């Protein structure tokens, strides 16, 4: 077997392919087998990975091979190793498996050490801690995900399966010689496609304004390298400041590394490179977090958004509106986010804001040859390439023709096509879907999976988590913030943040994800699923349905139209989404209604006090929407004297500050009146929200409205107050 392994390594090197070798058996046997093959590999080019710290970490690894915890796998992105040993005996971290597979270079191998296939799903996996919620225990987490994976590894033609006491099942390697494209003539680029991408990036910075580029590629295609090379070349040709952004600084490391190397190799004056910044002479390439940019727009010559699929569309839209020269780069199939979903969700915004945008893809692999076995196996096992049903199969669907089902997950896991459709829809609909999400929805003990079927095809899906019914002995400690049980986001937040200790007692069902097939958006299928879910949850004895999400005007409108009401908002923007988190409820029982009424009352009391402080920069349109349909909000009635104050301000010259109490009452009354429909009413509400409720400065309001100063703002405010006065009186 040793000689055969040596021959396979030579063949892999000729093909520039990578392979997964699965070693299945007792752990000592797995470790012994790996050690037998190590002499044929370069140990300084190896990496040993185990999911958990402690005795398991690095067990069996030679001292010459670095051993890391699975949680740190993403720190190795962009680096290369001839081989990786993934010891899954100490747990199978699915996200780490996906990330670390990209570290193996062409001609290399990845070893996966697992128990006997029939017993693997019964192993007490430490990863179950991430899925277990109170009051469940680790042994209540099912092994459905591992059962599916074991079946796939057994049947796959893209990996070699070596089982203890059985004949090895080596995968078939092609006999054809594979010639990679030579890099000659492409400068610092390794393929023609990468060189074309560099030129396209440079054209965004030097050509016409408002012509953004969307660059997509799978991993290993040199996409981030192209961003770095282009940035370095642009600095040497006159650009002063280039800003790079993305989900995190670590996710953009390759951009800075290649920019630094390119500058060092091409310039007599060497640039300096330190985390998140490349400095060359008086010019720089600098990383900034996306939420920081949205809150404080920056002036730069070019903005590069790496791994854009991992950022939500509203945040990307803000960047697009702010920057006239911008490049969006995204992985098509990756744990960073799904590029296909990103393209579908973002295309409409691009068409509206920058209709002359350009799309470019890099298809040819650089670090390994096309049709790489390891890449194909990772795609299929982690469902990175999962797709929903074809458009033509579902485009005729209507709510009346569809069937609502609650999936039995034991049966679902046996239907690979339906699993792929569910996960494919989730990946399209959500900006950050990870491989772990597949394991969570298959194995989570508190998870329920629903679907809407049309002629056997999935047109929509809902993932929900059971919450609440927490032991009353913990009520006081959770309310006081002294204790928090795993899971149960809404009841614990309502207890601790909203100050309703009894909230933990009720049973709730929280919507984690909801997705509708993109071919049939805006046909009411999302609302139909929420109606069906409400009926199902009511029949099962739940007190309420809940949801929590990064608030945008469109999403808030969807949930409000489905009968959900806001009960809590976060006090600062989420770093990943650039949005404020929003929690909403729909009551299903008398007890649930009592909880919702009290939560709503406390929400508005807090909300009004938070607007001039923590929520000072919340979008005024979002503030307006949160009051929509708030008939239960008791705004003070306007007295005859109040109406006199309002009239004297709108039609006279009285001070704004002197009339402020009456103006505030008028504004709140206008916000909660469903019939306040008048010309330019939304603009009037927006301006008054910013000044009266958020207490924006005169200079900020002038800048926002494009006015010269306080005097013009006052004239504008008098007109806005007059509009509200007329609308409410009529």
Q: What is the pLDDT of residues 690-718, one digit of tens each?
A: 999 999 999 999 988 999 999 999 999 99
| CATH class of the domain whose range is 640-729 | mainly alpha
Which residues are CB-neighbours of 284 under 8 A, at least 6 positions away?
Answer: 240, 241, 242, 277, 278
Q: What is the pLDDT of residue 72?
A: 85
Q: What is the pLDDT of residue 225?
A: 93
Is the model more confident about 207 or about 44? 207
- CA pair distance 74, 13, nearest whole angstrom: 25
Q: What is the pLDDT of residue 55?
A: 42
278 sits in which H/E element: strand 277-280
What is the percent of the chain where pLDDT is above 70?
Answer: 93
What values do phi and psi take at 626, rounded to 5? -65, -20
| Mean pLDDT confidence for 423-428 | 89
pTM of this structure: 0.87
pLDDT-derived band at 43 (thresholds 50, 70, 90) equals confident
Q: What is the pLDDT of residue 244?
A: 96
pLDDT exceeds 60 at position 178 = no
Quickly count: other Cβ atoms within 10 Å of residue 55's Cβ: 9
Quickly count: other Cβ atoms within 10 Å of residue 677's Cβ: 9
- Give tens-digit pLDDT for 228-248: 999 999 999 999 999 999 988
Polymer length in residues for the chain: 730
- Give tens-digit pLDDT for 11-41: 999 999 999 999 999 999 999 999 999 999 9
Cα–Cα distance list, 62 to 32, 48, 66 (Å)? 12, 9, 8
515 is in an annotated binding site: yes
Is the model more confident about 140 or about 728? 728
Q: How, if at all, do strands 581-587 and 565-569 pair?
A: antiparallel
CATH code, 192-362? 3.40.50.300
For helices 373-382 and 144-155, angle between their N-to-C axes, nearest 10 degrees: 150
620 is in an annotated binding site: no
pLDDT exceeds 70 at position 336 = no
- Give tens-digit pLDDT for 348-397: 889 999 999 999 999 998 989 989 999 999 999 999 888 899 999 999 99
Residue pair 313/347 in contact by the 8 Å Cβ criterion: no
Is the model more confident about 276 or about 539? 539
First to last CA, the chain: 90
Mean pLDDT lowest among 90-99, 245-254, 265-274, 591-600: 265-274
- CA pair distance 456, 480, nearest whole angstrom: 49
Peptide bond before residue 135 is cis, with ω within 30 degrees of 0: yes
Same fold, 391-621 and 640-729: no
Alpha carbon 51 to chain centroid, angstroms: 23
What is the SS3 string spanning 113-140? EECCHHHHCCCCCHHHHHCCCCCCCHHH
- Give tens-digit pLDDT for 465-481: 999 999 999 999 999 99
Say which CATH superfamily domain 391-621 falls into.
Answer: Gcn5-related N-acetyltransferase (GNAT) (3.40.630.30)
> Each residue of 180-214: b (16+ CB within 10 Å) or e?
beeeeebebbbbebbbebbebbbebbeeeeebbbb
194 is in an annotated binding site: yes
Domain boundaries, the chain: 2-163, 192-362, 391-621, 640-729
Residue pair 580/623 in contact by the 8 Å Cβ criterion: no
Is the model more confident about 78 or about 349? 349
SS3 breakdown of the chain: % helix, strand, coil, rounded to 5? 45, 20, 35
Cβ-based burial of 439 (10 A; exposed 0-12, middle 13-18, buried ≥19): buried
Quickly count: other Cβ atoms within 10 Å of residue 652's Cβ: 9
Is the CATH number of domain 2-163 3.90.79.10? no
Instruction: Give the residue among 547, 553, 429 at the shortest CA–CA distance from 489.
Output: 547
Q: What strands lie across the sheet with 104-114, from one edge to the other? A: 67-69, 46-50, 81-87, 104-114, 19-24, 159-163
602 is in an annotated binding site: no
332 is in an annotated binding site: no
For helices 313-322 and 339-353, angle between their N-to-C axes, nearest 10 degrees: 40
């Amino acid at each position: 077997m040793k000689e055969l392994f040596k021959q396979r390594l030579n063949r892999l090197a000729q093909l520039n392919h990578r392979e997964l070798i699965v070693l299945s058996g007792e752990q000592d046997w797995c470790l012994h087998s790996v050690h037998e093959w190590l002499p044929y590999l370069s140990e300084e080019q190896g990496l040993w990975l185990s999911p958990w710290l402690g005795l398991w970490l690095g067990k069996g690894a030679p001292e010459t091979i670095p051993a890391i915890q699975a949680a740190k796998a993403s720190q190795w992105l962009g680096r290369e190793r001839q081989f990786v040993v993934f010891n899954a005996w100490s747990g199978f971290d699915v996200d780490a498996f996906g990330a670390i597979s990209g570290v193996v270079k062409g001609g290399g191998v990845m070893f996966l050490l697992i128990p006997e296939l029939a017993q693997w799903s019964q192993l007490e996996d430490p990863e179950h801690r991430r899925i277990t919620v109170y009051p469940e225990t680790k042994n209540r987490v099912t092994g459905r995900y591992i059962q599916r994976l074991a079946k796939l590894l057994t049947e796959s033609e893209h990996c070699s399966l070596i089982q203890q006491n059985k004949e090895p099942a080596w995968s078939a390697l092609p006999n054809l010689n594979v010639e990679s494209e030579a890099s000659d003539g492409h400068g610092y680029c390794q393929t023609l496609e990468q060189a074309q991408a560099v030129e396209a990036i440079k054209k965004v910075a030097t050509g016409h304004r408002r012509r953004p580029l969307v660059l997509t590629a799978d991993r290993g295609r040199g996409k981030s390298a192209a961003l770095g090379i282009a940035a370095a070349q642009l600095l040497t040709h006159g650009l002063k400041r280039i800003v790079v952004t993305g989900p995190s600084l670590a996710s953009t490391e390759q951009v800075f590394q290649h920019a630094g190397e390119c500058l060092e190799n091409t310039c007599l004056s060497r640039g300096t490179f330190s985390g998140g910044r490349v400095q060359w002479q008086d010019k720089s390439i600098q990383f900034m977090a996306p939420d920081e940019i949205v809150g404080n727009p920056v002036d730069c010559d070019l903005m590069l958004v790496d791994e854009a699929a991992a950022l939500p569309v509203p945040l990307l839209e803000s960047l697009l509106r702010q920057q006239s020269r911008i490049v969006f780069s995204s992985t098509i199939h990756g744990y960073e986010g799904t590029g296909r979903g990103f393209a579908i969700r973002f295309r409409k915004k691009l068409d509206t804001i920058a209709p002359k945008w350009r799309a470019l893809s890099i298809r040819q692999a650089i670090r390994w040859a096309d049709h790489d076995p390891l890449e194909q196996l990772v795609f299929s096992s982690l469902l990175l390439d999962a797709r929903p049903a074809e458009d033509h199969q579902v485009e005729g669907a209507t709510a009346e023709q569809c069937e609502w089902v609650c999936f039995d997950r034991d049966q679902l896991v046996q239907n690979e096509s339906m699993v792929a459709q569910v996960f494919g829809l989730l990946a399209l609909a959500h900006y950050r879907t990870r491989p772990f999400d597949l394991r969570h929805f298959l194995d989570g003990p508190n998870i329920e999976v629903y679907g809407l079927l049309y002629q056997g095809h999935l047109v929509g899906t809902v993932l929900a988590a059971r919450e609440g019914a927490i032991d009353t002995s913990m009520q006081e400690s959770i309310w006081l913030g002294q204790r928090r049980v795993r899971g149960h986001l809404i009841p614990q937040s309502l207890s601790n943040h909203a100050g309703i200790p009894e909230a933990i007692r009720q049973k709730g069902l929280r919507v984690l994800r909801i997705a509708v097939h993109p071919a049939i958006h805006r046909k009411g299928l999302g609302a139909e699923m929420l109606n069906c879910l409400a009926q199902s949850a009511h029949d099962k004895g739940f007190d309420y349905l809940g949801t929590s999400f990064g608030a945008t005007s469109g999403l808030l409108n969807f949930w409000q139209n489905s009968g959900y009401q806001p009960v809590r908002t976060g006090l600062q923007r989420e770093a990943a989404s650039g949005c404020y988190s929003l929690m909403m409820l729909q009551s299903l029982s008398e007890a649930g209604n009592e909880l919702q009424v009290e939560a709503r009352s406390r929400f508005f009391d807090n909300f009004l006090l938070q607007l001039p402080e923590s929520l000072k920069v919340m979008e005024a349109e979002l503030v307006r929407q949160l009051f929509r349909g708030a008939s239960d909000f008791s705004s003070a009635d306007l007295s005859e004297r109040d109406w006199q104050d309002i009239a004297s301000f709108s039609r006279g010259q009285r001070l704004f500050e002197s009339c402020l109490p009456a103006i505030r009452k008028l504004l709140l009354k206008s916000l909660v009146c469903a019939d306040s429909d008048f010309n330019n009413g939304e603009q009037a509400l927006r301006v008054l929200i910013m000044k009266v409720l958020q207490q924006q400065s005169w200079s900020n309001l002038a800048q926002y409205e494009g006015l010269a100063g306080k005097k013009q703002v006052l004239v504008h405010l008098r007109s806005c107050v007059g509009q509200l006065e007329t609308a409410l009186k009529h």
